Structure 1
């Protein structure tokens, strides 16, 4: 029963839409109406309000970290902790509060990885930052970081630990960025900091 409650609570926490909360707090338009239409930090940044984007980024990352950290503190098994990690991540991707149309999971996934394995999380964040600063494409940075996350996990734990969980998160992240990948290949993807346009 405690395992089931933890998984449900993690999903509901993951469903909390910080992009929407940020829009309300900072008096911005609904982030689903401009840019990529994605309720996430990168799209909120297109509003031109860096504080709102930072609030969204921290909120989305924190909920991923908090769910896994809480499960660890309650002494739940590694299997349940892995399920909690997936529940909070997929809660962000498919939030009940937004009719199951959520963000792409980059910040929440990073928060989850930081809680599961701080070194893994930092390695993935460093990869994202390097690619993002090099090419200015958030989507490209996310895809590369996601693809390398299972590799880092395997190198660090020899295939043990939460490799399966990391792999599932990586596949889901790349899948959620499929349209971005198509735009990147067509040379039509927006760069970080580009101004908003109607979705």
Structure 2
């Protein structure tokens, strides 16, 4: 399909639409639909898949993981299809920002890990799968979701260079920095040795 172009107007539209898609709080929607309560009052209060898992409902957590990662990937793929690669990179970043700071929830959103991984898979699947592998390996060893996210996000920047995607290094660095910022309370608990393990109920 022919590209719409990559003028400032098109890129702005891509950014806004991708942000709105990223801002959909699937974890909150799913837990409410299933009668699991307000996710913001459970466990860490986060709206992501790890906190949904603390409700004890594994299918709900899986659905949240897939939808949160999918919204980043869909934003990238649609932008690439209609407006090209530069728009795809902007779309990925905007969807990620939408998840972290959703307008629907007073700009109080999740920590962005699933959306980050979905975005990276759509932008460059070898890089995205490598980031997922780093997350999984760290999770197997430590059983700490937040630490896995931090290690994976940090690793993505050099991995972008090693795997031949230097154009994604800046985006990876910005998103990784935001992930670290959103995980600052987790970092403090990791340092104290009090960060909960994966699957621990709230």
Residue 142 of structure 2 corresponds to 135
Q: Is the 8 A contact 2:80 2:87 kept in 1?
A: no
2: CA distance, partners of 1:52 / 1:27: 11
**Which position in structure 2 is the counterpart of 1:95?**
102
Say if 2:154 is the partner of 1:122.
Answer: no
Identify the residue that residue 117 of structure 2 maps to in structure 1.
110
Backbone CA RMSD of aligned residues: 1.1
Task: Give the conservation status (yes or no) of the 8 Å contact 2:68–2:115.
Answer: yes
Q: 1:187 aligns with which of 190, 193, 201?
A: 193
Does residue 33 of structure 1 match 2:15?
no
CA distance in 1, matches of 2:66, 2:96: 15
TM-score, with length taken from structure 1? 0.94
Count of residues in correspondence between the two structures: 194
**Moved segments of 4+, more than 4 Å:** none
In structure 1, the residue matched to 2:58 is 50
Once the two structures are superposed, residues 141-160 of structure 1 have per-residue CA deviations (whole angstroms, 9 ceiling, x without a partner) of: 000001100010011226x2
Instruction: Provide structure 2 residue ranges, at least 5 long, that are not aligned to the other structure.
Output: 1-8
Give how far 1:123 is off: 0.3
- Equivalent residue of 2:163, what SS? helix
**Pairing partner for 2:88 from 81, 95, 103:** 81
- Counterpart-to-counterpart distance in 2, 1:84 and 1:75: 10
Q: 2:179 aligns with which of 168, 173, 185?
A: 173
- Quick one: distance in 1 between partners of 2:183 and 2:41? 18
